[in-house]
Amino acid sequence: MITEDNKERIDSLISKMRAGNQRATGRLLTLVENNLDAAAYIIKKIYEFTGNAYIIGITGAPGSGKSSLINTMIEKFVDAGKRVGIVAVDPTSPFSGGALLGDRIRMKRNFSINDVFIRSMANRGQLGGLARATKDLVKVLDAAQNDIILIETVGVGQSEVEIFKSAHTTVVIVIPGLGDEIQAIKAGIMEITDIFVVNKMDFAGADQKVAELESMLDLNEKYEVSNPDHSLIVTRTQGWRPPIIKTNAITGKNIDKFISLIEKHKKYLIENNQMENKLKIKYRSEVLEILKFRMTQNIEALIYKNPEINQYIDKIIAKEKDPYSISEEILLKFIHMG
């Protein structure tokens, strides 16, 4: 529970954040990440200020040049007059040293502290789940009046898929020569990718990597199942074939073209009324995620506070009942008590 004093402190932090105070933003992010009750209170308070930032999800294996590409993207966005927020959900990221931009962050040049805000998250068990925490951090950065928010992750696990439900545009970075990388893409993220980047284009095998991705896209389109009801299944933008672009993040080769592809995808979403579809998928998933966590919390509290739990367990050990039957009994009891 949040005390009235804490509510007043949070309200004050929100006012300061809205006025551009980066330190207040950092404190709110810490509360959102580590205290679920505080997170719920903060999101309720700031929600009316969200929905203005454009959110880009970026993933790629370690060594793919992802951080270098993000560095260059930040430069381009800042040069265009944009404020940029970054949530780094990647233990290998050079951004994972702290919340505020500083000398701990490997950047090509110094930005104004008001231009860029970086928040790292350790890929650990978060209160309410990693995806929940990430989505809430994004909302805070959105309410803090950032124009662009980048979500950086590594891997293609379920957490990444859940996180990218919050993104308007999802980018997957690959490099030549990693055969396992293509298998990993097949395993889960092909369906949500909006743009593929073949980075380190000067490496041997870059054209072959493009050809492999094109073949995968052809195969995926052949067997793709439409999702007209916009259910909880994540699909990439309907009618959009993910473009593949070769880049060199170090030299800046084709970075402008890559940024243009992001803008093209944004324009496509708007012109084809896909933004609403994205929002439906995003918020159905988010509500379900919160409900599941809250229900789990309540059931755990009921079980651990109930002295009868040991009797239930003893019945399982004695083979009088199986775990499924006991679970059904507990669930029915929980429903009746609710």
Q: How far apart are CA 130 and CA 158, in angstroms?
A: 10
Q: Are residues 65 and 153 in the same domain?
A: yes
Model pLDDT, residue 111: 58
Residue 303 domain-assigned?
yes
Residue 232 domain-assigned?
yes
Least confident segment among 127-141, 180-194, 286-300: 180-194
Phi-psi region of 102 (alpha: psi -120 to 50; beta: other; left: phi over 0): beta
Model pLDDT, residue 243: 95
pLDDT tens column, 102-145: 333 444 454 566 789 988 876 554 555 677 888 999 999 999 99
Model pLDDT, residue 98: 40
Boundary residue ending a domain (246, 272, 298) = 272
Decide which of 97 and 217 is more confident: 217
Whether the per-residue pLDDT at 151 is higher than 90: the answer is: yes
Q: What total of structural domains would you count in the chain?
A: 2
pTM for this prediction? 0.83
Residue 42 domain-assigned?
no
Count CA atoms closer than 13 A to 26's CA, side-chain side. 14
Phi-psi region of 200 (alpha: psi -120 to 50; beta: other; left: phi over 0): left
Please report where in the chains the tokens 């669930």 appear, as a residue.
331
Q: Are residues 54 and 184 in the same domain?
A: yes
Asked if 188 and 234 touch (Cβ cutoff 8 Å), the reply is no
Residue 1 domain-assigned?
no
Whether the per-residue pLDDT at 229 is higher than 80: the answer is: no
Residue 36 domain-assigned?
no
Model pLDDT, residue 290: 86
- Return the CATH number at 223: 3.40.50.300
Q: Are residues 229 and 94 in the same domain?
A: yes
Model pLDDT, residue 189: 67
DSSP designation for 105: S
Q: How far apart are CA 32 and CA 172, in angstroms?
A: 27
pLDDT tens column, 204-227: 889 999 998 888 888 776 655 444
Q: Are residues 226 and 266 in the same domain?
A: yes
Decide which of 49 and 132 is more confident: 49
Q: Are residues 207 and 294 in the same domain?
A: no
Residue 25 domain-assigned?
no
Q: How far apart are CA 230 and CA 123, in angstroms?
A: 29
Model pLDDT, residue 223: 55
Q: How confident is the model at residue 20 (pLDDT cuts 50, 70, 90)?
A: very high
Q: Are residues 189 and 313 in the same domain?
A: no
Long-range contacts of 19-25 (CB under 8 A, 24+ apart): 20/114, 20/145, 22/100, 22/113, 22/114, 22/117, 25/117, 25/140, 25/141, 25/144
Q: Which residue, among 41, 56, 53, 54, has the nearest Cα to 10 in the 3D structure? A: 41
Q: Are residues 316 and 265 in the same domain?
A: no
Domain range holding 170? 50-272
Boundary residue ending a domain (242, 272, 302) = 272
Please report where in the chains the tokens 């299944």 appear, as a residue.
233
Residue 2 domain-assigned?
no
Q: Are residues 225 and 310 in the same domain?
A: no
Edge-first strand order for the sheet with 244-246 is: 116-120, 84-89, 148-153, 54-60, 169-174, 195-198, 244-246
Model pLDDT, residue 305: 76
Q: Are residues 202 and 70 in the same domain?
A: yes
Asked if 118 and 101 touch (Cβ cutoff 8 Å), the reply is yes
% of the chain residues with pLDDT over 70: 79
Q: Are residues 102 and 56 in the same domain?
A: yes
Q: Are residues 142 and 214 in the same domain?
A: yes
Q: Are residues 260 and 295 in the same domain?
A: no
Residue 19 domain-assigned?
no
Q: Which residue, among 184, 248, 255, has the nearest Cα to 216 in the 3D structure? A: 184
Model pLDDT, residue 106: 45
Q: How confident is the model at residue 337 (pLDDT cuts 50, 70, 90)?
A: low
Reduce the DSSP state of residue 268 to 3 states and report it: helix
